[in-house]
Amino acid sequence: MTVDTPHPVAATGRQPTPPLLRVEGLTRHFMVSGTRIDVLHDCTFDVSRGEVVAVVGQSGSGKSTLLNVLGLLDEPSSGAYTFDGVDTTSLREGRRSRLRGDGIGFVFQQFHLLERRSALANVGVPMVLGGVPLLRRRTRARELLEAVGLGHRLHSQPHQLSGGEQQRVALARALSREPALVLADEPTGALDAASSTMIMDQLIDQSRVRDAAVVVVTHDPKVAERADRVVELVEGRTR
């Protein structure tokens, strides 16, 4: 995948590039002690490179569930999900993991940092998996942490950081391999206004500077406002 694909909006006069991801008729249900819980019915939308899309909806409407499918962490019950031209429904585990590691950066609602590992080590993990050599990994992890304002906390472990700081480490980690798709699940939920703005600036930068596609789940109208487009989940359907 090429990083410098022209921005769809800027590419006036040329063929519009195909979207980076597309979901069509996607459903996801869970079985809980014999009862079927339909969380997503019929979601259809696409996201292109350089776009920032906000996903909004009530609590329990299935935003996290949708994001897990987009992040290849979960598989849909039915429907199609195409990522970077690859139909992901028929992928085997190894290929899926690789596609996820190479192409997708995930910022979780609960951060999911590795305990007892320094901020530097946490940011380095995706690069370990990507086979980036040690020295380059170190330098890059340091740069990323400095970019989110944590240059002075490189060796702190998650339990020594505030919620906002942990979220920034998680963001740095998600961006460490310059993924084509950045997914963020309520990245600003636990943060004050200033931190929240900083995180959003970083995410929007990813699309503007690096031409990545960004999908961010949020409750915050201020955050949704800054997105190029808003997808609303109502009763498991996209609007």
Partner 1 sequence: MLRSLTAGIVLAFAGSRANVARTILSCAGIVVGVGALILVVTAGDLGQRFATAYSEANAGRAATLEVSAFGTVTDLDSFEEDLGRAGALEVSVYNRMESAPPLRADDEVIRNTDIVGVDAALGDIRRINMTRGRWFTEADLDSRAPVLVVNEALADRLGDFGDVQIGTDHWADVRIVGVSQGSTFNANQYSAYLLRAPSSGEIVFGPSWDPEDNSLPQPTYLARVDPSDEAAEEMFSGGVFTDRLLSASWRWGIENEEDIMVYRTDYAAETEELIGYLSLGLIGIAVITLTTGLLGVLNVGLVTVRERRRELATYRALGASRFTLFVAVVMEAVVVAVVAGLIALALSWALVAAGGALIGRFVWLPPDISMAVPPSAALVGLGSAAFVGLLAGIIPAIRALRASVVAGLRE
Ligand X SMILES: Nc1ncnc2c1ncn2[C@@H]1O[C@H](COP(=O)(O)OP(=O)(O)OP(=O)(O)O)[C@@H](O)[C@H]1O
From the list ligand X, partner 1, Mg ion, none, which binds 48 (C-beta under 5 to 8 Å, kind-based)? none
61 binds Mg ion per the rule CB under 5 A: no
Q: Within 13 A of 163's CA, how many CA atoms are on the CB side?
A: 11
**Residue 131 touching ligand X (CB under 6 A):** no
What is the secondary structure of the chain as a DSSP string? --TTPPPTTT-TTSPPPPPSEEEEEEEEEEEETTEEEEEEEEEEEEE-TT-EEEEEE-TTSSHHHHHHHHTTSS--SEEEEEETTEEGGG--HHHHHHHHHHHEEEE-TT--PPTTS-HHHHHHHHHHHTT--HHHHHHHHHHHHHHTT-TT-TT--GGGS-HHHHHHHHHHHHHTT--SEEEEESTTTT--HHHHHHHHHHHHHHHHHH--EEEEE-S-HHHHHHSSEEEEEETTEE-
Residue 38 CB coordination number (10 Å): 13
Residue selected from 93, 152, 159, 209 as contacting partner 1 according to rule CB under 8 A? 93
Instruction: Pick from 64, 88, 176, 202 the residue near Mg ion by CB under 5 A.
Output: 64
> Smallest Cα–Cα separation from 238: which of 72, 104, 54, 111?
54
Is residue 102 involved in binding partner 1 (CB under 8 A)? yes
Minimum distance from residue 98 beta carbon to partner 1 (Å)? 7
The partner in contact with residue 131, picked from ligand X, Mg ion, partner 1, none with C-beta cut-offs of 5 to 8 angstroms by kind, is partner 1
Q: Tokens standing for 80? A: 């199609």
The stretch near ligand X (CB under 6 A) out of 56-64, 86-94, 132-140, 148-156 is: 56-64
**Of these partners, partner 1, ligand X, Mg ion, none, which one is at the site of residue 60 (CB under 5 to 8 Å by kind)?**
ligand X
Stretch 56-85: interaction string toward partner 1, x if CB under 8 A: ------------x--x-xx-----------
Size of the site for ligand X (CB under 6 A): 12
- In the complex, the smallest distance separating the C-beta of residue 200 from partner 1, rounded to whole angstroms, is 22
CB-nearer residue toward partner 1: 121 or 233 = 121
Of 50, 79, 126, 187, the residue at the interface with partner 1 (CB under 8 A) is 126
Which residues of this protein are in contact with ligand X, per CB under 6 A?
A: 30, 32, 37, 39, 57, 59-65
Which residues of this protein are in contact with partner 1, per CB under 8 A?
A: 68, 71, 73-74, 93-94, 97-98, 100-102, 104, 106, 108, 110, 112-117, 121, 125-126, 128-131, 173, 177
